[in-house]
Amino acid sequence: MRLTILGSGTNVHPTRAASGYLVRTDHTILLDFGPRTLANLLKTGVNRHRITHILFSHYHADHFSDFITYFFDAMIFTKYQGGTRPPLTVIGPRGTKRLFRALFATLPGFTHVPFAVHFKEVADRAFKIGKTTIIPRTVTHTKNLHCLGYRIEYGGKALAYSGDSQYCDSLVRLCGDVDLAVLDCSFPASRPNPVHLHAGQCGQVAREAGVGRLVLSHLYPITERYNVREQAGEAFGGKIVVGRDLMAIKL
Ligand SMILES: [Zn+2]
Ligand SMILES: [Zn+2]
């Protein structure tokens, strides 16, 4: 399994794209698709028209907005440029079907899609994509919003992605004994925010879950001024990496 960080920042950030991750197993999967991550996807050399599954943690714009650009391009490619592509399955939390139904009915050019698109709402139940096991788990982010973290297992390795999350038991369970956990490190420990983890809590989750390696991601601009690696390291003695765009990690 290979992970490439497409975006390690947030909605508006001077040097980092927002949330997006490319995961390669027996399938090529995207986790979230925030602004500026499509440009980084192109830089990886992966053929964007071969992506078959996009998993969304939630639909805050910093995890979602490049989907619109991506999909509009896919429509032009298949309608007017003679391109073909495999079916696309979009997977996400409660509200996924309603959101895309409204978008596709409203955005010009999004009707009459010439390839198969499937929308699937998931909660806390494992499923398979080929030989890859996906375990979504509801995490606590903002009030009344269904947000998912994902655990991906393939070839004897496990990766966890928090999506956006506060500290919660379900996040610790999601990360249980994974080889690599990518956590929402929006803020430094000294500048906490009620709906995101801070660096110290990332370390706490990693320690409690017994993760192998911890990747700190989803950094807000203000967070760049602090040593989040050191802050997470106060709670977690394992390997800690501050994520950056286009960083590739083999599991
Ligand atoms: Zn969010
Ligand atoms: Zn976010």
Spatial contact of 131 and 29, defined as CB atoms under 8 Å apart:
no
pLDDT tens string 202-243: 999 999 999 999 999 999 999 999 999 999 999 999 999 999
* Confidence band for 147, pLDDT divided at 50, 70 and 90: very high
| Rounded-to-integer distance, Cα 15 and Cα 18, Å | 10
Q: Return the pLDDT at 135.
A: 98
Quickly state the pLDDT bin for 111 (edges 50, 70, 90). Answer: confident
Tokens of 131: 């030989």
Judged on CB neighbours under 10 Å (0-12, 13-18, 19+), 212 is middle
pTM confidence score: 0.98
Ligand nearest to the CA of 34: 2
Separation of CA 58 and ligand 1 centre (Å): 7
Average pLDDT, the chain: 97
Ligand 2 centroid to Cα of residue 53, in Å, is 20
- Average confidence (pLDDT) over 145-173: 98
Give 241's strand partners: 215
Looking at the chain, how many residues does it have? Answer: 251
Tell me if 19 sits within 8 A of 7, measured CB to CB: yes
- Ligand 2 centre to CA of 237 (Å) is 26
Give every CB contact of residue 73 below 8 A, 6+ residues apart in sequence: 48
CA of 142 to the centre of ligand 2 (A): 11
The percentage of residues in the chain with a pLDDT greater than 70, rounded to a whole number, is 100
- Which of the ligands is closest to the CA of residue 11? 2
* Ligand 1 centroid – CA 142 distance (Å): 7
What share of the chain has pLDDT > 90, as a percent? 99
Q: Are 2 and 249 in contact (CB under 8 A)?
A: yes
What's the CA gap between 219 and 208, in Å, rounded? 22
Tell me, what's the pLDDT at 28? 96
Q: How confident is the model at residue 118 (pLDDT cuts 50, 70, 90)?
A: very high
Q: Which helix (H) or strand (E) holds 79?
A: helix 66-80
- Which position has the token pair 């139940």? 125
Q: What is the strand order of the sheet 248-250 is part of?
A: 117-121, 88-92, 53-55, 28-33, 20-24, 2-7, 248-250
Q: Please report the beta strands in the chain, taking only residues with DSSP state E, as ranges in sequence order.
A: 2-7, 20-24, 28-33, 53-55, 88-92, 117-121, 127-129, 132-139, 147-154, 157-161, 180-184, 213-217, 239-242, 248-250
Average pLDDT of the segment spanning 127-149: 97
What pLDDT is recorded for position 88? 98
Confidence band (pLDDT; 50, 70, 90) for 165?
very high
**Per-residue pLDDT at 38 exceeds 90:** yes
| CB neighbourhood size of 60 (10 A) | 22
